[in-house]
Amino acid sequence: MKRIVIVGATSGIGRATAHLFIEKGWTVGVAGRRMEKLEELRRLAPDRVFSEPIDVTEPDAPAHLLSLVHAMQGMDVFLLCSGIGNQNAELRPDIELATVRTNGEGFTRLVCAAWEYFHAQGKGHIAAVSSIAGTKGLGVAPSYSATKCFQNCYLEALAQLANLQHLSIHITDIRPGFVDTDLLRGGNYPMLMRPERVARDIYHAILHKHRRLIIDCRYRFLVFFWRLIPSWLWERLPIHN
């Protein structure tokens, strides 16, 4: 029986993925800010689902992670699904900074804690949900696309570091396209995917230790062509929601 910790399991992709891993018989540690949502998951299988309140923006988040791991008697996979994002064409500093705190500082805080644990254990698997938005800077969501690019690059650096240090730590960068979650509620987004469909791809990627996953094939084509667009043209494209 494998053991996975999912941070950001109270809604959206994280919650759907937690449901799937519980259904598949894993020991699952669920974490997030809303304890009532975590308790709903814990009641699905009280003997092998453990919960812990974790706010990734708080300095005590790593201590709470270790508390959860201790209750589970170990961790094999760490999956980070926490993230926020808003369109912010007005460039409101409070929105930009809140996004950086969660997607930048919070991401780094928890990934480093998981790395330290797996380094001491001698093996492990770190997976994180980033986004295809990290491919290019999006004018309607500057901090969101920038922090997702940061996450992509950070995970790439960790994969290199694991190889340099001959560590058995696997890294998976999960890059969904538009998913029907609270994050995108109210917008007009094409090719919207259900969280349950994304969860199935995440389960498969973790099971097979994939290094990188773009969900789904339509978005693979989109990202491929995005990368081909030169900066001078990209910066003149009228991209809206």
**Digitized pLDDT (tens) for each residue of the chain, 241 residues in all:** 599 999 999 988 999 999 999 999 999 999 999 999 999 999 999 999 999 999 999 999 999 999 999 999 999 999 999 998 888 889 999 999 999 999 999 999 999 999 999 999 999 999 999 988 888 888 888 999 999 999 999 999 999 999 999 999 999 999 987 665 555 554 555 566 788 888 999 999 999 999 999 886 776 777 777 778 888 887 888 766 5
Q: What is the pLDDT of residue 179?
A: 65
Q: What is the pLDDT of residue 17?
A: 96
Q: What is the pLDDT of residue 189?
A: 53
User: Where are the chain's structural domains?
Assistant: 3-234
Provide the b/e sequence for 198-234 (b: ≥16 CB within 10 Å).
bbebbbebbeeebeebbbeeebeebbeeeeeeeeeee
Fold of 3-234: Rossmann fold (3.40.50)
Q: What is the pLDDT of residue 181?
A: 58
The rounded distance, in Å, linking the Cα atoms of 109 and 185 is 27
Rg (CA), the chain: 17
Distances (CA, A) of 139 to 155, 176, 180, 193, 239: 24, 19, 22, 23, 8
Q: Given CA atoms 8, 118, 134, 204 in this order, what sign does their dihedral have?
A: negative
Please indicate, yes or no, whether the overall pTM of this predicted structure exceeds 0.85. yes
Q: What is the pLDDT of residue 19?
A: 97
Q: What is the pLDDT of residue 80?
A: 98
